Structure 1
Amino acid sequence: MSRHATIWQPPMAMGGDDFNRANGAIGSLFSTDTAQPCVISGNKLQITPQGMGAGLTTYVNTWRGGGNDGKMHTDNHEVRVQLIASSYALANNNPVLIYLAGDNGNNATGINVAASLYSGGSTACTIATGSGATGTTRASTATQVPTNALVQFRRRGNVFTILVNGATHLTWTDTGAIVPIGATQRRVRIGLSGNFPTFQQQFQSPSIDSVYAYDLAA
């Protein structure tokens, strides 16, 4: 090897969580953005159980582990989520949410980039920008995501890509510089959603078996 050969630089790993612990609180590796957090149940992440009559509700938690208070170090980063079937009935119109390039506050402030992933039904999977429940769809696909899929949501500068089981599912290039570049826009988050129609049962999006967040090599 030449003494001038490029030395491979691995990405700055940020760590993650496999949720393999006692049922209950999500734990100190996350903070809660919404009225209720996601919780651990059966070694996977699910929604806080709802009462009968509850409409569609989203539960969002921000990653705080891995050093740097959970913020990514660069504008090239990725969240990798292993989905798993929920213990509740599957709701076709309830998404799993993966956020990256997020505002330093929570998902209800500033600009966040969200991947909304649906399993079954006809609701389109999307990449959207916005705050809280207010968002603008930037790209969409009618192709659904299996309940046991490995999903990667990736940012490389101004290009945002969803991969499902290693194949590109959806991509959006931020040609209008909507999402700021820099250290204040590097939060990652995960979310689940559910509802409990009157006289029916609890419904939920797929659950999350594990999540990992890390910077990507340039």
Structure 2
Amino acid sequence: MDKALIIGSSGGIGCAFVAGLQADGVAVEGLSRSADGLDLTDPGAVERVLGDVKGPFDLILVTSGALEIAGAPPEKSIKSVSAQAMMDQFAVNAVGPALVLRHAARLLPRDRRAVVAVLSARVGSIGDNRLGGWVSYRAAKAAVNQIVRTTAIELTRTHKQSICVSLHPGTVATAFTRKYLGRHTAVQPSEAAMNLINVIEGLTPEDTGQFFDWAGKAVPW
């Protein structure tokens, strides 16, 4: 891997990916809302910022996301769902990544292996849902998994060696999760990033369109 594009590079795990890849000798281009105006909830901003980016990249990684938006916490049950909170979740966690993936074909090489990955979450797995709750966040992550799956199918038609996957980083100790760690064991962003870099390095084109966790194990849809 020679060159990577990290979306959300100023966030806790995004910053860790930049550092981890650079330590491996990868040339990294990072984009974020705070540094570059890349607001994934603003289609115009996504087109403007990514329109100026020149590839090809061996890795495009979308690390942006949000669990609590505008002060709305994850719902404890379906009774707590609000239309605005759900739309906010979809804007950040599903529509935003989709707008980035619109540029994937242009930014990936056609003549060699290349990876596009979006950070998802195990709670977005329909098959793994045994607790309920967190309705809007779960639904948005399930949606982004479908977006990744669809993108993988379409990329394969023109980029035969491309790999497009969803990745679950585990519970990471960042500002994103601080209020919701509870009894969950959390890892530092640097460890989470290295775990997923190892997973990414081990992927083959046969893995495209799938959903993997931090240990490289398939997560059910």
TM-score (structure 1 length as normaliser)? 0.31
TM-score (structure 2 length as normaliser)? 0.31
More helix by share: 2
- Structure with larger Rg: 1
More strand by share: 1
